[in-house]
Amino acid sequence: MFEFKKKIIIVGLVLILGLMLVGCSKELTEIKEKQNMGRLKVTISNSNANNLKVQSISDMITIDKYEITVSKGNLNKTQEVDANTNEVVFNDLEVGDWTVEIIAVDTEGYNAYGGSHTSTVMADTITTANVELYLLDGNLNTSVTIPAGLNVVAGQVKLISNISEEDNIIKNLTIKGSTGTANFTEVKAKKWDIEVSLFDDNDTVVASGRNQIDILPSRDNNASITIETSTGGLDITINVNLSPSDPTGLNAELQNGEIVLNWDENLESNISGYMVYRSNNLDGVKEVINDNLVIENTYTDSNVEIGNTYYYWLIAYDSNGYSSDFSNVATIDMPLVEMVTVLAGTTSADNGDLTLDYDIEMGKYEVTNKEYVEFLNSAGVSPDGSYENQEVIDMDSDYCQISYDGSNFYVKYWTDSSGTAIDISDYPVVEVTWYGAVAYCNWLSEQEGLTPAYNLSEWELINTDKSTLEGYRLPTENEWEYTARGGVNGEATTYAGSNNIDEVAWYRGNSDIEGSSNFSIGMGTLSIGQKKANELNIYDMSGNVWEMTDSIDSLDSRRIFVRGGGSTNYSSRCEVTYSDTFYKSNSGYPQGFRITRTKI
C-alpha cells in the first residue's frame, strides 16, 4: 500500500514539473516573438520642392491630412495625421520587408500627393523610411469653340511638357457643330503648354495657337477654350479658362441692423459656392467671415457695429477647387444709431387703418444719454446747453442726467439706495427740448454725409414733402403711430407690441424699482431695450420717455405733439392712440425723442 502511494506522488510531481516546463516554454516563446519585432519610423518629404514648373501647382494646393499605411503580406496598419506632421512611428512590426504608402489629401478632399517606399524592419531596431511624395495625376477635359467662318473639319489638342518632350500628349478633337472636344486622362499634375491646331478638308492648318494651363491632381480639370482670330484667320489667340468667372454685381444694404449682401447669379454649371471677405479698410487685410461656402447669391452679416465702415469682396469656387479672383468691392457705412426699416402700407382696419406712403427707417431705440453727449461735445454746444440761439437741454434741471466738467459734457452716474453708482449712459436722454432733438438730427445727418432735413436758422424742415428728405428728422405723428402699431403686419394692441403694458413699457406702475434714474421719487426711466419689442423689433414706443414728433399743433405753432407716455405716467398715457402737446422749448421729465429718416 505504501509503495502504491509513493508511485502516485512521483507521478504527480512529474506532471507538475511538466506543466512548469510548458509554461516556461510559452513565456520563452513570447519573449522570443517580442524580440523578433521592430519599429518603423516614417518621414515625409516633398520631392517637388525644387521643381518650379511643379511648384506652381503645389502653391495652389493646401494639404489637410496624410493617410499612411504600412503593409507586409496580409498584415497592415494605418495612421491618419494632420498636415503639420512629418514623422510617424509604427510599433510592434514583424521583422521583414514592409511597404509604406502615403496619400496626402488636400482641403478640397482630393488626393493631391502620393508616394511609397519599402524598408526592412529589423528586430529591436527603429528603421527609418523616408517617403518622397509626388503630385498625383489629373484629368483634363477640353472644349474648343471654333470661330465662325473657318472651314474646320478636324483638329487636335497638344499638351507640351516644359520638362521633357517625351511627356508630350496629342489628342484629336471630336468635332460636333462649332465645338470640338478632347479628353486627357492620367496627366501629370503640373503646368503645361497647350496647343490647338485646326485643319480644313485639305488637311491644311487654318489656325493654331498656344497658351498655358495648370493641371491639378486627382480631379477633372475642365478647360473651355475660345479662339480669337486676327485678320486673315491664320494667327489665333487661345483663351483657356479653368477658373470660374469673377463674381459681379456685389452690393451691400443695411437692413434692420444687419448688412445684406447680394450679387449676380453665376450660371456656370460647376459653381460650388462663394467665400465672403470683409475688411474695415479698403487697403487692409481681407478676412473670411463665413465658415462654409455660400450656395445662394446672398449673405447676411450680423456681426456688425454701428458707426463702422465695412468693405466686402467675394471669391467663387467651382467643384474642382478652382477659385476666381476677387469680385468688385461693396462698401457700406454703418449709421451711428441703429435703425429699423418700416415699409409703406396700410394697417388693418382694427389697427387704426393708418397709411404710410413711403418707406422709412425708425430708430430701434430712443436716443440715449451717451449718444446725445457725443452731439453736445462734437457740435460745440455751450456749457449752459444753448445752441444756435436756442436751449437744447436744460442743464440746470435736477433731473438732467448730463453734466459739464469745464471742458466736456459727460453722463452722470446715478446712485441707488445703497449708494452704489449706476451707469445710465444707455438710459434715454431727458430734459431735451424740441430744438435739441432737431439739432441732434441735423448733426447726425452731417456725420453720415446726408443732407440735413432742417434749416436751423428758421428751425423748420427744408422741404415739407417728407418723402424727399434724406437726413434724419423727428417722425410725424402718423409715422410714429404707424410704427408703434407694428406697420402693415401689426396686431391691434393697446400698447406698442402688447395688450399687457408690463411686457412692453416702463410706466408709473412698474418703474419704482432700484436702478431707475429717478428712484428717489419712486419712479424713473430705465435702460433702453429691456422690455419686449413690438412687431417691427422696435423698443420702448410705449413708456420710458415721451417721444417728441415733428407734427406742429395747428392751434399753436409753439407746441408739438408728443407720443408714447413716460415712466411717470399712468398706463392710459402709454397707449398707441394717446397724444399730447408740449411747447417746443419745454424740457420736462421724462421727455426724450426717437429719430427717423425717409428710406430713399
> pLDDT tens digits for 453-487?
999 999 999 999 999 999 999 999 999 999 999 99
**C-alpha span between 466 and 354 (Å, rounded):** 17
**C-alpha span between 310 and 254 (Å, rounded):** 11
> Coil, helix or strand for 283?
coil
Three-state secondary structure along 398-464? Answer: CCCCEEECCCCEEECEEECCCCCEEECCCCECCCECHHHHHHHHHHHHHHCCCCCCEECCCCEECCC
pLDDT by residue (tens digit) across 481-531?
999 999 999 999 999 999 999 999 999 999 877 666 664 444 589 999 999
Domain at 137-242: CATH architecture: Sandwich (2.60)
> Coil, helix or strand for 358?
coil
Where b means 16+ CB within 10 Å and e means fewer, 233-252 reads eeebebebebbbbebeebeb
**C-alpha span between 596 and 426 (Å, rounded):** 19
Choose the most confident range, by mean pLDDT, from 138-147, 255-264, 299-308, 433-442.
433-442
Residue given cell 415699409 in the structure block:
343
- Is the pLDDT at 53 greater than 50? The verdict is no
Is the pTM of the predicted complex or chain greater than 0.85? no
What band does 144 get if pLDDT is binned at 50, 70 and 90?
confident
Tell me, yes or no, if the two domains 137-242 and 339-598 fold the same way.
Answer: no
Which of 442, 401, 445, 448 minimizes the C-alpha distance to 425? 401
Mean pLDDT, all residues of the chain = 88
- Is the pLDDT at 275 greater than 70? The verdict is yes
What band does 55 get if pLDDT is binned at 50, 70 and 90?
low
Q: Where are the domains of the chain?
A: 37-135, 137-242, 248-334, 339-598
Going along 5-94, which residue ranges are E strands? 37-46, 63-72, 75-82, 87-94
Position 30 scores a pLDDT of: 45
Q: Which residues pair with 411 in a beta bridge?
A: 402
Domain at 248-334: CATH code: 2.60.40.10
Mean pLDDT of all residues in 16-45? 63
What are the CA-CA distances from residue 327 to residues 274, 289, 522 (Å)? Answer: 11, 15, 59
∠ Cα 192 197 203 (to 5°): 150
- Is the pLDDT at 16 greater than 60? The verdict is no
What band does 18 get if pLDDT is binned at 50, 70 and 90?
low
Report whether 159 contacts 108 (CB < 8 A): no
pLDDT by residue (tens digit) across 334-384?
888 999 999 999 999 999 999 999 999 999 999 999 999 999 999 999 999
Domain at 339-598: CATH architecture: Alpha-Beta Complex (3.90)
Q: Which residues contact 16 (CB under 8 A, 6 or more apart)?
A: none
Assigned CATH class of 37-135: mainly beta
Position 8 scores a pLDDT of: 54
Position 284 scores a pLDDT of: 87
Higher pLDDT, 57 or 519: 57
pLDDT by residue (tens digit) across 192-243?
888 899 999 999 988 888 888 888 899 888 787 877 665 444 444 555 556 6
Position 49 scores a pLDDT of: 46
What band does 596 get if pLDDT is binned at 50, 70 and 90?
very high
